[in-house]
Amino acid sequence: MIHGTLTGSVATLSLSVMVLLVAMVATPVYSSSLVAHHPGQTVIRTKGSDTMHVLMRAWADAYHKDHPSIVITTDNSGSSNGIAALVNGHIDMAVSSRTLKQQELRRISRQAGLLPQEHIVGWDGLSVVVHRHNPVEGFAMEQLASLYARTGTLKSWSDVGVTVPGCETGQIMLGSRRNNSGSYAFLQDAMAPFNSQRQRMASGEVTYHRNSRQLADWVASNPCAIGYMGMALVTEHIRAICIRTTRGECLPPTAESIRNRTYPLTRPLYLYVPNEPTEAVQHYLNWIRGTTGQHILRQVGFIPAVEQP
């Protein structure tokens, strides 16, 4: 059952969310944690996933419009940083595109005693992206693991049977998020069963990017490039390719393949809050999981945690 209070009309949100999305494409997306607030207002501090930052901004703006006494700050410094900030008591809500790691659970247990509440608020398909003129259809998970492993055998586009227009060297240029990213950690874990030596990414051969927008721009400007990001962040200048399943199907990250969990890189989107959240945080969380919050999530480009009737 979804709890929450529905305020305002869902239909009136469409234009405001689209305006926000356009603005965030046109301007850098970094921290907005220094939002001005006035005496008497309650501040809910959120921090974490860059993948979910556009979504968190859309949620924060819509919620504040209906609840002027609540100011919600956002920061897209990465899932790991958000989780660490929650553990240290610096924020009210951690935003993460991956689940908690075992070492994080142990640290929380030592420091706080009680584990935070974990809430799945939506679903995403981590999208493997290439330049829009790259003709490659897709990759199997074994191929992805070989691409990013230190001793991987796939080095050029000819190794996968394609010639890429504009890629003069023919070399596959690997792009990645940094290791504080939930997307980085999720892809590492997803590739691990197909990597017999459990190798980490070949850091000397990978170009690392601070956020998904930088990575998307880099892939768009490099015909030889490949990268990965959340499905809602794929732009018209790059192309998400399909991922081949163990049954031989090559599935793209679509609403259907993510909803039925057949896309190999399907992942939940998480919010973590203290074991005993404040009334304001709990109300906001209920709203996110309710009709209005899930409608906004769908508009941004993710898949709702629970489909609304």
Rounded to a whole number, what is the distance in angstroms from the first to the last CA of the chain?
12
pLDDT over 90 percentage in the chain:
68
**200, pLDDT greater than 80:** no
- The reply to whether 156 and 251 lie within a common domain is yes
Q: How far apart are CA 165 and CA 167, in angstroms?
A: 6
Looking at residue 28, its pLDDT comes to: 32
Give yes or no: residues 52 and 112 share one domain: yes
285 and 207 within one domain: no
In terms of pTM, does the model score above 0.95? Answer: no
**Within a domain: 193:** yes
Within this chain, do residues 55 and 136 fall inside the same structural domain, yes or no? Answer: no
Strand-pairing partners, residue 171, are 156
Last residue of a domain, one of 259, 278, 296: 259
Mean pLDDT of 128-136: 98
What does the pLDDT average to over 281-290?
97
Looking at the structure, do residues 140 and 218 belong to the same domain, yes or no?
Answer: yes
Q: Is 228 part of a structural domain of the chain?
A: yes
Report if residue 168 sits inside a domain: yes
Question: Structurally, how many domains does the chain consist of?
Answer: 2
Do 68 and 131 have their domain in common? no
CATH number at residue 92: 3.40.190.10
Domain containing residue 67: 10-121+270-304
Q: 58, 21 in Cβ contact below 8 A?
A: yes
Across 143-154, average pLDDT: 83
Is 34 domain-assigned? Answer: yes
**61 inside domain:** yes
Band the pLDDT of 309: cuts 50, 70, 90.
low
- Asked, for residue 2, whether it belongs to a domain, the answer is no
Residues 117 and 51 in one domain: yes
Please report whether residue 237 resides in a domain: yes
Question: Over 60: is that where the pLDDT of 132 sits?
Answer: yes
Q: What pLDDT is attached to residue 122?
A: 98
- Summarize the confidence of residues 213-238 as an average pLDDT: 97
Is residue 19 located within the same domain as residue 87?
yes
pLDDT of residue 203: 56
* 159 and 249 inside one domain: yes
Confidence band of 38 (pLDDT split at 50, 70, 90) = low
Per-residue pLDDT, averaged over 248-254, amounts to 95
pLDDT value, residue 14 = 47
Q: Are residues 239 and 275 in the same domain?
A: no
Q: Which residues contact 183 (CB under 8 A, 6 or more apart)?
A: 50, 51, 97, 98, 126, 177, 212, 228, 229, 230
The conformation of residue 124, written as its DSSP 8-state character, comes to E
Mean pLDDT of all residues in 223-251: 95
Report yes or no on 99 lying in a domain: yes
pLDDT of 202-215, one tens digit each? Answer: 556 789 999 999 99
% of the chain surpassing 70 pLDDT: 83
Residue range 158-196, pLDDT digits in tens: 999 999 999 999 999 999 999 999 999 999 999 988 876
* 139 shares its domain with 255: yes
Is the domain of 202 the same as that of 95?
no
Runs of H (alpha helix) within 47-151: 53-66, 79-87, 102-111, 141-148
Q: Is 266 helix (H, G, I), strand (E, B) or coil?
A: strand
Q: What is the pLDDT of residue 3?
A: 33
Residue 13 in this model has a pLDDT that exceeds 60: no
